[in-house]
Amino acid sequence: MRDELSLIFAALADPPRRALLARLAEGEASVTELARPFLGEMSLPAITKHLKVLEGAGLVIKTKDAQYRPCRLNGAPLRDASRWMEQYRSFWEESFDRLEAYLKTVHPPKSEKLQGARRGRKKQ
């Protein structure tokens, strides 16, 4: 059996599954309701399979209403995945800082340009 974090990341590694989560973020829905907007692109068995992967990762929970059993988005696994990523935050902030520093050398901010122009004028 795969570890939880791997199950979560694997479940998210697919655009249709992320689309199903986005739909569930709007509110609970039965499998039929969930499937409706996707039926042009995917078959019902394909959608059911995607939902099973999301359920396996704990991202979707089928509530225990005997009549209706709607699907609900469960945020907790996303919290765990997000926490795992947080430990690398310094790396993405660093790479952003490097990009920003580079862009400043290519396109200096307006204030610096103006100061340069003023300095130029004084010399004249």
Return residues touching its own copies (CB under 8 A): 2-3, 5-10, 12-15, 18, 21, 25, 73-76, 78-79, 81-82, 84-96
What is the C-alpha separation between 31 and 45, in angstroms, rounded? 11
State how far the alpha carbon of 31 is from the alpha carbons of 12, 26, 90, in Å: 19, 14, 40
CB of 61 to its own copies, least distance (A): 10
CB of 9 to its own copies, least distance (A): 4
| Between 22 and 39, CB nearer to its own copies | 22
| Between 27 and 116, CB nearer to its own copies | 27
Residue 89 three-state SS:
helix
Yes or no: say if 77 and 53 are a contact pair by the CB < 8 Å rule: no
| Between 7 and 47, CB nearer to its own copies | 7
- The beta strands (E) that lie in the chain are given as 60-62, 71-73
CB of 72 to its own copies, least distance (A): 10
CB of 25 to its own copies, least distance (A): 7
DSSP label at residue 59: S
